[in-house]
Amino acid sequence: MTNITNKVAVVTGAGRGIGRAIAVELAKMGARVVVAARSVSELEETARMAGLASVVPTDVRRQNEVHRLLEHAETQLGPVDILVNAAGIGVSGPVVGFSDADFEAVLDTNLKSIFLTCRGVLPSMTARGTGHIVNIASIAGKVGSANLAVYCASKFGVVGFTQALAEEVRQHGIRVSLICPGSTDTSFFGGTGKASKARERMLTPADIAHAVAMLVTQEANSFISEVVIRPTMKP
């Protein structure tokens, strides 16, 4: 397996949950990790857990802030070798009652941010002929659910974008991978895990971090295009 010691990794959504677990795991593997999220206090806690992680408060929905994040990573640590897009929000509710503001927030956070970060790292990765991008989607990007139409739309978009981008850049030595987790014990939809489901049967953020570790340590002649992770027992 490929060693990622001293590789520069940027992880969005790293203030808590899945993003935090991924940042900590990559740091343990020797990568030099830059963590991004909107909450400074949450990022600082992630940095403490990860050791040498570099903190850059970022609203990944905004192009200027994404540019500042990537510029910081390259200036301080070097060209980005690994990009993990884990930023995401969930807003549930029937379509007839869904606000324009919530629609824009979900699509901008879950989908537009991935476009912005990928567009930002690709020129350098293409010039160097190497790089790995991992986008975190969801089972909701494959199967629709009642009262999650907008969230599902955003994640279906992530799946399509990732699949298309992988074909677009693989000729340049860049690998683009997709992870679709099932029910995961986080505070994603508000609260500590989904109250209606048995938390002990849900995935943990560490399960997704383990999958990321597997992806980014593949030998250069191959890449895993997609990983779907489900709990062993249905919550």
Longest dimension (CA), the chain: 50
Active site residue 20: no
Q: Which residues contact 14 (CB under 8 A, 6 or more apart)?
A: 20, 22, 23, 35, 36, 37, 43, 46, 53, 86
- Three-state DSSP state, 93: coil
Q: Which of 151, 156, 161, 188 is catalytic?
A: 151
Distance CA 234, CA 232 (A): 7
8 A C-beta contact, residue 133 and residue 177: yes
Q: What are phi and psi of 220, to 5 degrees?
A: -65, -20
Active-site positions read 151
